[in-house]
Structure 1
Amino acid sequence: MPKVSKEQIAAAKRMTAIEFLRRYRPGALEKSSARGEYQLVAHDSFKINGESSVWHWKSRNIGGRYALNYLIYVENVSFVEAVQMLCGESPSYIPVEHEQIEKKRLPFKLPPKAADNSRVTRYLLGRGVSLPVIQYCLDLKILYESAGYHNCVFLGLDEQGVPQYAALRGVYDYGKTFKIEQEGSDKRCGFCIPPAGGSHTVAVFEAAIDAMAEMTLCGGKADKYRLSLGGISATEKEPLALQEFLRRHPEVTTIELRLDNDSRGRMASECIQKVYAKRYNLLDLPPEIVNGDYADMAKNKLMARIAAERAAVCR
């Protein structure tokens, strides 16, 4: 097994992550909504400060400042290879593309299931999602409760109906909502609520809970496909989940863009419209709440109903 010296390790630790990315991955970075901050095009939950070089991959709860840690924890490069790369002894490795990184993705494995889905059901009801919508997703086996931490597990299926993607969302409030994609998830297989019958329309959301919330606001009607992109990049013109969905469903003619009503959601909507406008009937339908999403709308409607019921009791 090749080894590296203490001097090489010390030299490798001198390069910051932002310096490495600007020099060797210029196409991988884009500006984020925060001033002086950047994000990875392929992983928009990865943020890095342009001055301090401090980076944090929120969905995986890892971070650092130097290129060495970035290569090890983000691009899955071995310690020795990363040191050699940064010392200039392995220059052929520098132009690694995202496709090559994907080849190193760990095998996809679903979290074990809990004995029942009671906690997930209570959580989603508290977020304003109706019981019929929750049950619809449970019956389709695209939603379940994990054992241990009792997270919501939203599944994305391949063409054979086999799960290839999972988005986990915590049901407990510790001041910050737990949200992560299961290791090895295939972004092409997004969480999708299918219609009860055929449909020529797909509504596109940033998160699975938004899709369930909008279905609730529509009275629980299973009248169209509701697809979650699993997050967005403001400049991503053709999200992988949408590309794959449209490939599988040539009968679809209308795309409802129901992305968040914030700067990133609006920019993403504009980018997607530019790509698909000539091929599809596009409807830009953001939620009514500024800087909000459909889950916020459903929660607000629930709170308003509870307040009205309490007021009626007090009369």
Structure 2
Amino acid sequence: MPGVTKEQVAAARRMTAIEFLRRYRADDLVKSSARGEYELRSHDSFKINGESSLWHWKSRGIGGKSALDYLMHVEGCSFVEAVRLLCDERPSFIPQRHEEVERKRPPFKLPEKSPTTTRVEAYLRCRGISQPVIDHCLQAGILYESLPYHNCVFVGRDAEGVPKYAALRGTYTYGKQFKAESTGSDKRFGFCIEPSTESKTVAVFEAAIDAMAEMTLAGDATDKYRLSLGGIYAPEEGCDIHPPAALEEFLRRHPQVDRIEFCLDNDPPGRAAAVALARLYGKRYQVAVRLPPIEGFDYGDLAQAALEYRTKNKAKNCARAQNKYKGNER
């Protein structure tokens, strides 16, 4: 590996983030209000567990455990710089302070809006999303079609209704699926489908399309909040999980909510995260884990499978009707 050896990389990976902070950033590390948790004087949205070393930078929606992860993702080091620093080859290196990194965060901007939603609607219908659910999101202003690439844009807004987050998904149905977030997106404000009447329940999903899919499978019901986290950070076995920024912000703004349904993907990361989150929030809320019943599926897969099943049965019924008309049914 250019610049560092495999042995150096292995040595660097052995140091945990909390060990590094205690050794090299002791003046910046302070106890937070939560038991066993610490934060930084220079950036109080950064939290780290003193035992597991799991850290979470809430304003960026990222986390990790090792000192190497911390240096690269929080203090802006390159991989080689971080390895050398941890191996004490560059003790004079001074990484960027948190407030400097935060100051450089680019401003949020939504993609240009297309005057039509033809491509988005066609794509979502192919994914098994019902037209009433699509219309509901379009009318709420949390879904639109972008220009010039005609992507799906799933919008997250703050308490005043101002867009703060946008997840993008390509509308083509072949090749590798395009997925991204708009520059400057704030993960605290996730895509959320609000109920038609006040509700005390929020269903939590990894992606916006999963929220729309579950709503479709529920008969287009608008009976509860459906919130996308914009992805998950699965904890290592035996470790605690950091509260998702989108869910924490949602619960802060909706104090009436007393039930959380974790509708994550039925894969190893999704299952691990669902169990950890249910344990974390079960102390304060009623919780339910509602993973898709098929291993490896998310709710988007379920909706698409349901569409394919309906289409297949419709074709069979049409063939049967034609045979009966011709007097050929056996």
TM-score if structure 2 supplies the norm length?
0.72
Q: Quote the residue 2:160 is aligned against.
A: 160
User: 2:120–2:150: 8 Å Cα contact kept in structure 1?
Assistant: yes
Shift of the 308–120 alpha-carbon distance from structure 1 to 2, 3 Å rule, reads same
User: 1:259–1:293: 8 Å Cα contact kept in structure 2?
Assistant: yes
Shift of the 269–147 alpha-carbon distance from structure 1 to 2, 3 Å rule, reads same
User: 2:152–2:168: 8 Å Cα contact kept in structure 1?
Assistant: yes
Summarize the alignment of residues 112-261 of structure 1 with structure 2, pairs less than 5 Å apart. 112-235=112-235, 236-261=241-266
User: 1:213–1:298: 8 Å Cα contact kept in structure 2?
Assistant: yes
Deviation at 1:237, TM superposition (A): 3.3
Letter in 1 for 2:286: N
1:187-237 deviations in whole A, cap 9, x for unaligned? Answer: 000000000110000000000000000000111111100000000011233
User: 1:237–1:268: 8 Å Cα contact kept in structure 2?
Assistant: no
* Secondary structure in structure 2 of the residue aligned to 1:156: strand
- The number of equivalent residue pairs is 269
* Secondary structure in structure 1 of the residue aligned to 2:175: coil
Q: Quote the residue 1:22 is aligned against.
A: 13
Q: Quote the residue 2:272 is aligned against.
A: 267
Letter in 1 for 2:13: R
**Matched residues in 1 for 2:305 and 2:265: separation?**
15
Q: Quote the residue 1:276 is aligned against.
A: 281
Q: 1:93 aligns with which of 92, 95, 105?
A: 95
User: 1:44–1:232: 8 Å Cα contact kept in structure 2?
Assistant: no
Q: List 4+ stretches of structure 1 deviating above 3 A.
A: 12-21, 23-28, 40-47, 74-79, 99-103
User: 1:190–1:228: 8 Å Cα contact kept in structure 2?
Assistant: yes
Deviation at 1:27, TM superposition (A): 6.1
Q: Quote the residue 1:293 is aligned against.
A: 298
Deviation at 1:22, TM superposition (A): 2.7
**Matched residues in 2 for 1:291 and 1:18: separation?**
33
Q: Quote the residue 2:50 is aligned against.
A: none
Task: State the superposition RMSD in angstroms.
Answer: 3.4
* Secondary structure in structure 1 of the residue aligned to 2:94: helix
**Matched residues in 2 for 1:44 and 1:311: separation?**
48
Shift of the 27–309 alpha-carbon distance from structure 1 to 2, 3 Å rule, reads farther
**Matched residues in 2 for 1:22 and 1:256: separation?**
36
* Secondary structure in structure 1 of the residue aligned to 2:112: coil
1:40-59 deviations in whole A, cap 9, x for unaligned? Answer: 97689999xxxxxxxxxxxx
Shift of the 296–100 alpha-carbon distance from structure 1 to 2, 3 Å rule, reads farther
TM-score if structure 1 supplies the norm length?
0.75
| Structure 1 unmatched ranges of 5 or more | 1-11, 29-39, 48-66
User: 1:44–1:233: 8 Å Cα contact kept in structure 2?
Assistant: no
Q: Quote the residue 2:309 is aligned against.
A: 304
User: 2:232–2:273: 8 Å Cα contact kept in structure 1?
Assistant: yes
User: 1:204–1:255: 8 Å Cα contact kept in structure 2?
Assistant: yes
**Matched residues in 1 for 2:74 and 2:171: separation?**
30
* Secondary structure in structure 2 of the residue aligned to 1:91: coil
- Report percent identity of matched pairs: 48
